[in-house]
Amino acid sequence: MKRSEKAARIGGYLDEVYPALPIPLDHSDPYTLLVAVLLSAQTTDKKVNEVTPGLFAEGPDPQAMADLGAPRILEHIRVLGLAPTKAKNVQWMSEILVERHKGEVPVDMAALEALPGVGHKTASVVMAQAFGVPAFPVDTHIHRLATRWGLTNGKNVKKTEADCKKVFPRDTWIRRHLQIIQFGRDTCPARWHDLAACPICGWAATKKQIETEASRNRRK
């Protein structure tokens, strides 16, 4: 089966299971989404959603957040991974938004990627979820599932992103990104997964992949 045909079948199934998915990170505007996505690195969305209400109450916009300062930001996010670095980046990023972008989140990928703590994936999420610009952010779930399903060779996330953009129609990128992540969390974990019984892996994964994973499961 061609990759494009496989992607179409996968997309049809995901649309049935997840016809409408909310953005998992709580936010009220592009700025709070940007901060939330930055904070979510190496941390669960649930944990981020637990700390952002207090943080955003004191720093709802770039100017207010910059005025808080890194030490106060750290008090709010201390339970998150890499908290000290994230606190400094949130303050610095907020200052730059005020000084260079009039306190607004730029609708520009290059400008977003130039902000402290904002990599390509974070910028892609903001472009897609805040501004509706088609993008295909690749996290660990998407990288491993696209590899497992034979949509990419899995060499790196950059290649996975390019391959996913080739096989999924542009107008599906935003929802497909969220759907694949949710499917990975709900149904298709990285370890101890029965690929043969999976509604997608059962036909999308290769026979060798299915047998290899089954062998690992027997040894657990």
Mean pLDDT of 164-193: 96
pLDDT at 8: 98
Residues 78-96: pLDDT tens digits?
Answer: 999 999 999 999 999 999 9
Residue 41 and residue 25: Cα distance in Å, rounded? 12
Q: Is the CB of residue 161 less than 8 Å from the CB of residue 136? A: yes
Give the pLDDT confidence of 105-116 residue by residue, as tens digits: 999 999 999 999
**pLDDT for residue 218:** 80
Reported as a single tens digit per residue, the pLDDT across 117-166 is: 999 999 999 999 999 999 999 998 999 999 999 999 978 999 999 999 99
What is the distance between the alpha carbons of residues 164 and 173, in angstroms, rounded to a whole number?
9
State the CATH architecture for 3-20+137-218: Orthogonal Bundle (1.10)
Amino acid sitting at position 145: L
- What is the CATH code of the structural domain delimited by 30-131? 1.10.340.30
What are the boundaries of each domain within the chain?
Answer: 3-20+137-218, 30-131
Residues 23-38 as b or e (16 or more Cβ within 10 Å = b): bbbbbeebbbbbbbbb
Sorting pLDDT into bands at 50, 70 and 90, what band is 215? confident
Euclidean distance between CA atoms 131 and 93, whole angstroms: 19
Contacts 24+ apart (CB under 8 A), 23-29: 23/129, 23/178, 24/49, 24/178, 24/181, 25/49, 25/52, 26/52, 26/53, 27/52, 28/56, 28/60, 29/130
Q: Is 69 helix (H, G, I), strand (E, B) or coil?
A: coil
Residues annotated as catalytic are 121, 139
Distance CA 31, CA 64 (A): 12
How confident is the model at residue 220, as a pLDDT?
62
Count of helix runs (H) and strand runs (E) in the chain: 13, 0
Q: CB-side exposure of 115: number of CA atoms within 13 Å?
A: 36
